[in-house]
């Protein structure tokens, strides 16, 4: 199976959590996402390229990059991560939250965890599976 297909596999329901509050969203914890990425592609490079601050200097996001090799092709993804409530945290905690968000967004661009964002409209795993089977 290709690495791209492996990245597209859905997380088991037991690993999926729901954000509380008015804006309900499904998510998988950062450590679980990192494990799947390592399982599928091996070592990778992730870095925060720039912290984003609001007018009063509070860290409210970041620009980050993820570099991986997928099925022999080097891939670089850049994404923005944000902090839900930057005024409630300190600079370090906010930077960590923004980096985690940016990494999950980079991962989604590779198909990893994308089903959490697309819900019922998710088809990538089935489409890639068809490509991999002789009858597909």
Cβ contact 60:102 at 8 Å: no
Nearest to 18 by CA among 132, 121, 116, 136: 116
9-38: per-residue pLDDT in tens? 999 999 999 988 777 789 999 999 999 999
Q: How many CB atoms lie within 10 A of CB 34?
A: 16
pLDDT score at 89 = 85
DSSP-derived letter for residue 62 is: E
Query: What is the span of the domain harbouring residue 37?
Result: 3-128
Mean pLDDT computed over every residue of the chain: 93
Number of domains the chain is built from: 1
Query: Domain for residue 133, yes or no?
Result: no
CATH of the domain at 52: 3.30.390.80
Cβ contact 83:89 at 8 Å: yes
Query: Domain for residue 135, yes or no?
Result: no
Query: Domain for residue 134, yes or no?
Result: no
Q: Could you give the count of Cα atoms lying within 13 Å of 129 in the half-sphere of its Cβ? A: 7
Sequence-separated (6 or more) residues with CB below 8 Å from residue 119: 26
Cβ contact 51:64 at 8 Å: no
pLDDT score at 36 = 97
Cβ contact 43:31 at 8 Å: no
pLDDT score at 136 = 56
Query: Domain for residue 45, yes or no?
Result: yes
What global pTM score does this model have? 0.90
């Amino acid at each position: 199976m290709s690495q791209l297909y492996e990245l597209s596999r859905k997380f088991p329901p037991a690993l999926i959590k729901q954000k509380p509050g008015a804006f309900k969203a499904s998510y998988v914890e950062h450590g679980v996402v990192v494990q799947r990425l390592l399982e599928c592609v091996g070592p990778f490079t992730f870095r925060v390229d720039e912290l984003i601050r609001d007018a009063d200097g509070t860290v409210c996001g970041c620009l980050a990059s993820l570099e991986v090799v997928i099925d022999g092709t080097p891939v670089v993804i850049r994404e923005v991560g944000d902090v839900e409530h930057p005024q409630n945290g300190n600079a370090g905690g906010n930077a960590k939250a923004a980096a985690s968000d940016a990494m999950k967004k980079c991962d989604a661009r590779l198909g990893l965890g994308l089903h959490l964002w697309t819900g019922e409209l998710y088809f990538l795993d089935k489409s890639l599976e068809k490509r991999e089977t002789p009858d597909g």
